[in-house]
Amino acid sequence: MVQTKYREITKEDLCDFEKEIAEIYATGVIKAPVHLRSGREEQLIQIFKDNSIASEDYVFGHWDSHELALLKGVPREEVKQAILDGKSISLCFPEYKIFCTGIVGSLMGTAVGVAWALQRQNQRGRVYIFCGDMSSETGIFHEAVKYAVSFDLPVVFVVCDNGLSVMTETRKVWGSPEPWFLGTKYEKKIIYFRYKNNYPHSGLGWKIKF
């Protein structure tokens, strides 16, 4: 059985990891996109603790999931090697039940499907899908949350709001200062927090951002 290690992981561990990857990326040896994040370490650690996210739970993430892999219990060196191998934006460690994708919205249905299967098969475990503020505006996010609420599926959507979609200000696109789900019945399946990412959306800011 895989033991999760998140209780031992500190904010400093997460910061140090991203810093090390940034330094390696700057040398040019990683021949693939890398997405670094900072400024949300405490919120992520708290979410893993509050929800007791453990080995039987599934975590789904997107292009910015280094921290999630570490918090899910994947050993630091394994995460680092995967990033060196060019998988920063699509980290997948089936043994640890964490799956990530570089494609906006592409895992919303999968996460809900896994939650549906867990419920139908009466299995332990919950599903946590992490995404950004702009991803929470997509049609597939709406559909997935609606289905999860209607059937009370064991899935939680975690929206990490950094106010940006690549270089676009999210609120200019939303036409609203708040995300659509605040104050609705869909909130019960959503954890939402705001943070400032101290890294550029992708890489170190001196190549194209996407």
Nearer to ligand TPP, 4 or 65 (CB): 65
- For position 158 contacting ligand TPP by CB under 6 A, the verdict is no
Per DSSP, 2 falls in state P
* 155, 111 Cβ separation under 8 angstroms: yes
- For position 166 contacting ligand TPP by CB under 6 A, the verdict is yes
- For position 64 contacting ligand TPP by CB under 6 A, the verdict is yes
Three-point CA angle 116, 119, 121, nearest 5°: 105
Strands 164-165 and 92-93: unpaired
- For position 162 contacting ligand TPP by CB under 6 A, the verdict is yes
- For position 164 contacting ligand TPP by CB under 6 A, the verdict is yes
Determine which helix (DSSP H) or strand (DSSP E) holds 111, and give its type and residue range.
Answer: helix 108-120
Task: Give the tokens for residue 160.
Answer: 């990490």
Q: CB-hemisphere CA count at 13 Å for 79?
A: 24
Q: Please state the closest distance from residue 138 (CB atom) to ligand TPP, in A.
A: 8
Residue numbers 29-58 binding ligand TPP by CB under 6 A: none
Nearer to ligand TPP, 4 or 162 (CB): 162
Residues lying near ligand TPP in the complex (CB under 6 A) are found at 63-64, 102-104, 131-135, 160, 162, 164-166, 201, 210
